[in-house]
Amino acid sequence: MIASGTTSPAVLEQLQRRSADPKRRVLFTGATLVTMDPASGVLDGADLLVEGDTITAIGSDLSRDGAVVVDATGTILMPGFVDTHRHAWETQLRRIMPDVDDLGAYVMSTLAGYATVYRPNDMYTGTKLAALTAIDSGITCMLDFSHNSRTPEHSDAAVQALIDTGIRGVHASMGPHFGDWAKQWPGDLARLKDTYFSGDDQLLTLRLAALATDEIAGPALAFGPELACAAQELGIGVSVDAVFGASSSKAIGQWAKDGILGAEVTLIHATGLTPAAWKAIGESGTTIALAPTSDAQIGLETAIPAIDEALSAGVRPGLSIDVEVALVSDMFTQMRALHAIQRMRAVNAVHGTDQQPARITTHDVLDFATLQGARTNGLAGVTGSLTAGKKADLLVIQAEDLNNMPLNDPIGTVVLGSEARNISAVLINGEVRKWNGQVLGVDLPALRDEVHASREYVLNTQAA
């Protein structure tokens, strides 16, 4: 037994020394467990046992025999956040257009401009930076909507970045919108699956990515029976981006008739859809990925995240980051933005009447950011809650830091009080990825040089 606190180098040394042991036992004691498991709820001062890569027990006074013991008193232990949609390759272009006014401006500057000059190593650098930043802010599972797959080598680089960072990565592959490319997609998905995604129990999973309609980039990238069949033959899920407005509503109606909606399909944004489209989504069990800051800040369709529409259709959505060229990269902001926007709308809708507003809660948005995000990514049985049998994807949040103490409501503290700096530890698949507030295994000066060199190449080449 090695007993010490969550910031102890001695505990980290023991964890790393025994990381290759599939029977390694790690016991967290004394934490407030925000399990996000409906059957368990919030447990005060409980223990959580990890064996190898899996949570095996939650309770009181669990056996310490042979375990590395982490004294987590004064912390919140919770499942890692799940990001259901991020264009990770763009990350070296962070906040290059912070006040973008509409989708067209983003498309023309980024997808028709910068994207066309990306090399495979630029894909690698952007995706790696996104994944490391995700881990730093407590996102243990990230769906990378990789829509710049110009060649097989571009796809390989994006997947390798996920592997190298140790994140639970979902690689959603799509061909680029504009410019020259090898036209290997979607056929290359079979090679990708055989090369990187052949195992049933691994960190990485594969999805097919597509657009809702042919308005932006033509019919080749638009979801329909042909792409649905390709995904079904490979046994992978589908993520569909740019789902908004009348044209997407019409497409959803057609997909329902074609029988290609369902739990394995995720529709991203879903703003400005018709009641008929929402009915089809709800009846088919199709999942939804909301992008609260993207919809509101960029002004996508109605600019209002479709949370009320989703809930009315019986869909509990996942949350996502979207594009760092204009937006933040953490899940805390997504939760707070959605919480504030929905509650503002709910109160405004009944203002001046005797009706009660239908407001979502902090528990709702944390559910969206964890358990529902995992379900949206097709990983509900793997991650998203602290549940025995699920993989050990978890966060340790310091509840007694200056901005969090005293701990009165754990879920309220996570959603409304905490920041990335309060996350002292992150485990993914039982492996320590952040400890004592620092992401491990990162040569920051070298990474900084790599990121800057890639950015300068992209900007200078695109300008030329």
Give, in degrees to the nearest 5, the angle at Cα 204 between 202 and 210: 145
Domain hosting 155: range is: 81-376
Please write the tens of the pLDDT for every residue from 203-228: 999 999 999 999 988 999 999 999 99
- The domain boundary, picked from 360, 376, 392, lies at 376
Name, in order, each residue with C-beta under 8 angstroms of 226's C-beta and a sequence gap of 6 or more. none
- How many other CB atoms are found less than 10 A from the CB of residue 224? 16
56: pLDDT strictly greater than 90:
yes
pLDDT > 70 in the chain, percent = 98
Q: Clarify whether residues 85 and 19 are in a common domain.
A: no
What local confidence, expressed as pLDDT, does residue 1 receive? 30
Please write the tens of the pLDDT for every residue from 260-281: 999 999 999 999 999 999 999 9
- How many other CB atoms are found less than 10 A from the CB of residue 455? 19
pTM of full prediction above 0.85: yes
Give, in degrees to the nearest 5, the angle at Cα 223 between 219 and 225: 100
Q: Clarify whether residues 313 and 431 are in a common domain.
A: no
Query: pLDDT-derived band of residue 6, with 50, 70 and 90 as boundaries?
Result: low
Q: Clarify whether residues 336 and 187 are in a common domain.
A: yes
**How many structural domains does the chain have?**
2
Token pair listed for 163:
């592997």
Q: Is residue 458 part of a domain?
A: no
Q: Is residue 444 part of a domain?
A: no
Q: Clarify whether residues 97 and 112 are in a common domain.
A: yes
Query: pLDDT-derived band of residue 9, with 50, 70 and 90 as boundaries?
Result: confident
Q: What angle do the packed helices 188-196 and 225-234 form, to 10 degrees? A: 20
3: pLDDT strictly greater than 80:
no
Q: Clarify whether residues 117 and 62 are in a common domain.
A: no
Please write the tens of the pLDDT for every residue from 87-98: 999 999 999 999
Q: Clarify whether residues 395 and 425 are in a common domain.
A: yes
Q: Clarify whether residues 357 and 427 are in a common domain.
A: no
Please write the tens of the pLDDT for every residue from 391-427: 999 999 999 999 999 999 999 999 999 999 999 999 9
Q: Clarify whether residues 293 and 357 are in a common domain.
A: yes
Q: Is residue 434 part of a domain?
A: yes
What local confidence, expressed as pLDDT, does residue 22 receive? 82
Name, in order, each residue with C-beta under 8 angstroms of 356's C-beta and a sequence gap of 6 or more. 350
CATH number at residue 414: 2.30.40.10
Q: Clarify whether residues 50 and 109 are in a common domain.
A: no
Rounded mean pLDDT of 304-319?
A: 98
What local confidence, expressed as pLDDT, does residue 369 receive? 99
Please write the tens of the pLDDT for every residue from 417-428: 999 999 999 999
378: pLDDT strictly greater than 90:
yes
